[in-house]
Structure 1
Amino acid sequence: MTATEHEITTPVDLCRPDGRLDPDAVGWTRRPLHRTDLRGWGRCKRWEYWGIVTPRHIVGIVVSSLDYAGVHGIYVLDRESGAEIARDAVVPLARGTVMAGRSGVGVTSARGGGVEIEISEDEGGSSIEASASGIQLSVQVPMPPGHESLGVVVPWSARRFQYTVKDVGRPVSGTLTSGSEVHRIEEGFAVLDHGRGKWPYSMTWNWAAGARPGLGVQFGGKWTDGTGSTENALIVDGRLQKISDELRWEYDTTDWLRPWSITGDRVEVEFRPFHERVAVSNLLVVAGETHQCFGHFTGRVRGEDGRWLDLDDVVGWAEEARNRW
C-alpha cells in the first residue's frame, strides 16, 4: 500500500496550544522543521538515539525521558570478538535529564545511575560525549553541506502522535575508550533517531537503517501502518528520496539471526545479521523487549528516476521492539 504524503517546507508547530496534534504538522521533511513543545504530562516520550558503525565497533547511545522515568544507555559491540558492553540507567521522573526542544539545535544531556551523556548540536553538526564504568566515547558528527534527513509525523489520533527524525549516514570521528584500550574512530558513519510524541500504551515497531559511502537506507514498519505516514527513504549522495510504500517485513522470531526480508514496490531487500542484541526491561508500568540485529543488506531499491540501486556493502541494523509505556 502506498501512502499519500505531504512534504513540509516551512517551520511548523507539532502541537496546538491545548497539546493536541496540529494538523498542519502532519507530513515529512528533508531537514528538521518541527517545533516539538509537548504540553502536558502522560505518555509523552522524548529521546535521542545515536547509532555509530565503524569497521571495529558498533555503538549505541540513548538519552530518553518517558515522563515517569529517564532511561539512558551506552552500548558497545566489538565486531571482532563479539563481546558486548552495556551500561544502562533508569532514573525516576527523569531527574537530571535535559532534552533539546528541536532536532539539530541545543543540548541533550543525562546524568544518573552511573551514566553521563551530553549531546550538543548546531548547524555544523553534533558532538557526543558519553561515559560509564569502563567505557568512554568522544566523537564529532559533522553535518555535510546539503545533507538531508527524514522527518515524519505519524498521527494515530489528535491526542496520540509521534514526530521522528531519522538521519542516516553522517560522518563520524573521535575516540572510543574501552577499559585501557583507546580506539581511534576515523571510518564509519552515524545514524540519529530523534523522537518526540505522545504514544499509545502498547506499541510494536520495526526499524532498519544502514549506509555505505554515498548511499543510505531507512525503513520502518508496523507502528506507522494505516496512519497515512511512512518512515521509508533512500539517501543518495546526501539527498533524500522519500518512499511512501508500506513495506512487508518477514523474519523468524524463533531465530533472529536468520535473514530478514523487507519488500515493497520499490524495495527488494534481504538483511543478513551477524549479531543479535537483546534488551529486555520490566519496570511494571514500563516494559519492553527489543531484538536489534546488526548485519549486511543485500538486494536493491528503486530510486526516484526509476533506476534500481544495489545495496552491496551496506551495513547497519534491523530490529523489532515491543513496548508497554
Structure 2
Amino acid sequence: MAQIELGAGDLLDRRGRLAEAGWARKEARRYDRAAIAASPLRIKEWDYYCVLAGDYGLSAVVADNGYMGFLSVVWLDFRTPSVTVESVITPFPLGRMRMPGSADAGDIVQDRPRLRLAFRHTPGGRRLSIDCPGFAKGKGLRGVIDLAQPPMDRMMIATPWRGAPKAFYYNQKINCMAASGEVILGGETYAFRPDRAFAVLDWGRGVWTYRNTWYWGSASGLVDGQPFGFNIGYGFGDTSAASENMVFHEGVAHKLDQVTFHLPPPSAAGTYDAAPWRFSSNDGRLEMTFEPIIDRAETTDLKVIRSIAHQVFGRFSGTAILDDGRKVAFTDLLGFAEKVENAW
C-alpha cells in the first residue's frame, strides 16, 4: 500500500474537506475548527493521556464531542488487578470547551465540581494536574505528573471517509514521554519515575460518520536502556493513503504498512482478558504477542448513542524491524490494545 508522507499546509481546503490524506512524523497540518463544513454536532475533539508505571497507571481525557462534553480519569492497579473510573458528562458543548487547534500549543483547563483536569504545556514537556475529591467512593484522587517531550518523532495521520466528503479524522499520537510526579489516592502516594513510567498522548480532531469500529494499540518504555514504543491501529475511514502504524526507537519513527490484531474469542464473561492476543504486520516487520491483565470493558446503550469498548491493558513481547534493518526484541512492554464499536 502507498504511504503518502505529507508536507506542511492547511488540513482542510476551502470547501471544508480534507486537503490531502496521508501521514507525517510531526504536526504537519494546520487544524482550524472554523474551516469545517459539517454540523457542529458531528465534530469530535479530544486529548487523551495514558501514563503507565509498572504496577499501576492513570489515564485522563477531555473531549468535546459536539452533543456531549466528557471528562474522565481512570486509575489502573495491575496488581489486584482493578480499574476505578470517575466521569463527568455535560450536554451540547458545541465547541465551548475550546479545545486547542494544535497538539503543540494551547492549554486545556476544565473545572467541574466533581473533577478538575488541566493539561498544560511546560518548557520541554507537559504537565497533567488532576483533582477528583470523590474518586473511589470518597477516597479522593489528586496528583501532578510532568511528561518530558524532547525533540522526537510522533505519528500524525489525516484520514478521510469514502462517500462522506465532509468527514475526516486528524490524529496525533505522541509516545515515549517519560513521566515524573506523584498521585495520591485515598491517602496513599504513588510515585511516577521517569525510568519506568511513560505516557502517550492521543490528540484527535475531526468530523466522524455515525457508525465506526476501531482497533488501537500502544506501548512505551525502555528497551536495552533506550526509549521504545509503537502505535498500531485500523478499522475506520479510508486508509488507502496511509496507515497509522509506527515503531518509535530513540525518538525516531519507523513507518510500517498494515498491522492485524488477531483477537482470541472473548471469555464466558464477554471480556478479552483471558487469552493471549497476537499481532502481525503484512511487511513482516512487527510480530508480537500480548498477555492481558485488565479488560476495561464498557457498554453504553442510549439508543441513538451506543458504544461497546474493550480497552485491554497488558504486556507485549515480540520483535520490530527498523527502517535500517535492525531488529529490536522486547519483552513484557506495558501497554494496551483495544477494540471499540461506536454509533455516535
TM-score (norm 2): 0.87
Q: 1:197 to 1:28 in 2, by over 3 A?
A: same
Deviation (angstroms), 1:113: 6.5
CA distance in structure 1 between the partners assigned to 2:264 and 2:62 by the alignment:
30
Residue 178 of structure 2 is matched in structure 1 by 171
Letter in 1 for 2:312: C
Residue 71 of structure 1 is matched in structure 2 by 70
Residue 44 of structure 1 is matched in structure 2 by 43
CA distance in structure 2 between the partners assigned to 1:138 and 1:117 by the alignment:
10
SS of residue matched to 2:200 = strand
Give the alignment partner of residue 139 of structure 1, picking from 136, 145, 151: 145
Deviation (angstroms), 1:33: 2.5
Residue 30 of structure 1 is matched in structure 2 by 25
Residue 296 of structure 2 is matched in structure 1 by 277
Letter in 2 for 1:195: G
Deviation (angstroms), 1:137: 2.7
SS of residue matched to 1:159 = coil
Give the alignment partner of residue 232 of structure 2, picking from 215, 219, 222: 219
Residue 253 of structure 2 is matched in structure 1 by 240
Deviation (angstroms), 1:184: 2.1
Deviation (angstroms), 1:17: 3.4
Letter in 1 for 2:155: L
Unpaired runs of 5+ in structure 2? Answer: 135-139
Give the alignment partner of residue 297 of structure 1, picking from 316, 320, 326: 316
Tell me the percent identity. Answer: 26
CA distance in structure 2 between the partners assigned to 1:116 and 1:17 by the alignment:
37
Letter in 1 for 2:12: C
Letter in 2 for 1:249: F
Residue 137 of structure 2 is matched in structure 1 by none
Q: Is the 8 A contact 2:160 2:238 kept in 1?
A: no
Letter in 1 for 2:99: M
CA distance in structure 2 between the partners assigned to 1:113 and 1:250 by the alignment:
42
Deviation (angstroms), 1:16: 2.2
Letter in 2 for 1:27: G
CA distance in structure 2 between the partners assigned to 1:277 and 1:241 by the alignment:
29
1:3-56, Cα deviation, whole Å (9 max, x unpaired): 21222243x221223322122xx2212122322113251311100000000023
Residue 276 of structure 2 is matched in structure 1 by 259
Residue 305 of structure 2 is matched in structure 1 by 286
Determine whether 1:15 maps to 2:12: yes
Deviation (angstroms), 1:253: 4.4
Determine whether 1:317 maps to 2:336: yes
SS of residue matched to 1:42 = helix
Matches within 5 A, 1:122-161: 124-132=124-132, 133=134, 134-144=140-150, 146-157=151-162, 158-161=165-168
CA distance in structure 2 between the partners assigned to 1:65 and 1:193 by the alignment:
14
CA distance in structure 2 between the partners assigned to 1:17 and 1:175 by the alignment:
46
Letter in 2 for 1:207: W
Letter in 1 for 2:32: D
Q: 1:101 to 1:123 in 2, by over 3 A?
A: farther
TM-score (norm 1): 0.92
Residue 306 of structure 1 is matched in structure 2 by 325
CA distance in structure 2 between the partners assigned to 1:114 and 1:221 by the alignment:
35
CA distance in structure 1 between the partners assigned to 2:325 and 2:340 by the alignment:
33
Deviation (angstroms), 1:84: 2.2
Unpaired runs of 5+ in structure 1? Answer: none
Q: 1:225 to 1:299 in 2, by over 3 A?
A: farther
Give the alignment partner of residue 4 of structure 1, picking from 2, 7, 26: 2
CA distance in structure 1 between the partners assigned to 2:113 and 2:66 by the alignment:
17
CA distance in structure 2 between the partners assigned to 1:227 and 1:161 by the alignment:
14
Q: 1:174 to 1:239 in 2, by over 3 A?
A: same
Residue 219 of structure 2 is matched in structure 1 by 210
Point out 4+ residue stretches in structure 1 off by more than 4 angstroms: none
Residue 261 of structure 2 is matched in structure 1 by 249
Give the alignment partner of residue 191 of structure 1, picking from 159, 175, 200: 200
Q: 1:274 to 1:225 in 2, by over 3 A?
A: farther
CA distance in structure 2 between the partners assigned to 1:81 and 1:117 by the alignment:
26
Q: Is the 8 A contact 1:225 1:246 kept in 2?
A: no
Residue 102 of structure 1 is matched in structure 2 by 102
SS of residue matched to 2:107 = strand
CA distance in structure 1 between the partners assigned to 2:237 and 2:326 by the alignment:
27
Q: 1:229 to 1:189 in 2, by over 3 A?
A: same
Matches within 5 A, 1:49-60: 49-60=48-59
- Aligned length, in residue pairs: 318
Q: 1:206 to 1:94 in 2, by over 3 A?
A: same
CA distance in structure 1 between the partners assigned to 2:239 and 2:28 by the alignment:
24
